[in-house]
Amino acid sequence: MTGFNGRTVLVTGASGGIGGAVVRQLAAAGAQVLAGGRSEAELAELATATGARPLPFDVTDEDSVRRAIEGLDLYGVVNSAGWGGDIETPQDADVQVFDKVMAINARGVLLVTKYASREMIRTGKGGSIVNVSSQASLVGLKGHIAYGSSKAAVDNITRVGALELGQYGIRVNAVNPTVVMTPMSAWYWGRPEVGGPFLEQMPLHRWASVEDVAAPIVFLLSDGAGMITGVCLPIDGGYTSR
């Protein structure tokens, strides 16, 4: 793994399962990590364990995002903040849930990209943005009308971001993980009648760990991925390749 030599990387959702694993792997690889989330107490705990600097802000609030990011000398960003919403069909969807899922998962990624990319352009050293999307954007999953739509928007922000920011040496990629048993997913996918049939169809027949997801994110941030941009990379045990 390429070292980060003190480059500064912002990780949103750092207090979550996947974001926390990314922070730990980045700190071990020599990055200066800024840990984003809303819960100051959880960020403080992570800071003590990893040396990351807490950066509390709310991704749904444009002023909060701008205040947190303006003036930072950023090399990289991992957009991992997210919310699963509810399991709903199109015919019974609660549009308030849809709006909230879109505000956190899609609009939040856009807002962080908007302010972070400005600082990356100002710093003038290129950089790398990795968005945490989902397998739910690549295939239709029952009950995932809001969440899948929000992650499809994330994939589009990734592709358009790559197109617009490439001229500044800034790469933009996404990862599209299968289920990781964090609190976000365990309440639904942990049910045997839901998770069992799903795993049967997945070539690797197991859930992803947070480390399985964090390692490709760190790779996409690194110089080893210097020619990769605009990609949405499944980390799904082969599920979407069927």
Q: Which residues bind ligand NAP (CB under 6 A)?
A: 12-19, 37-39, 42, 58-60, 80-83, 104, 132, 134, 177, 179-180, 182-185
- Whole-number Å distance between alpha carbons of 70 and 64: 10
Cα gap 129→99, rounded to integer Å: 24
Longest dimension (CA), the chain: 51
* Shortest distance, position 194 Cβ to ligand NAP, whole Å: 12
Q: Taking the complex as a whole, how short is the minimal distance between the CB of residue 169 and ligand NAP, in angstroms? A: 26
Question: 151 an active-site residue?
Answer: yes
Q: Report how far residue 203's alpha carbon sits from residue 63's, in angstroms, rounded to the nearest whole number.
A: 44
Give me 17's structure tokens. 């399962």
Options 75, 114, 125, 147, the catalytic residue: 147
Going 234 to 236 to 237 to 239, the CA torsion angle's sign is negative
By beta-carbon proximity to ligand NAP, the closer residue of 38 and 159 is 38
- How distant, in Å, are the alpha carbons of 7, 9, 126, 179, 240 from that of 133? 24, 18, 22, 12, 14
For residue 175, the minimal CB distance to ligand NAP (Å) is: 8
Q: Which is nearer to ligand NAP, 136 or 165 (CB)?
A: 136
d(CA 87, CA 104) in angstroms, rounded, equals: 16
Identity of the residue, 80 or 173, whose beta carbon is nearer to ligand NAP in the bound complex:
80
Q: Which of 75, 115, 151, 239 is the catalytic position?
A: 151
Residue nearest ligand NAP, Cβ-based? 16
Residue 90 or 183 with smaller CB distance to ligand NAP: 183
Q: Which of the residues are catalytic?
A: 147, 151
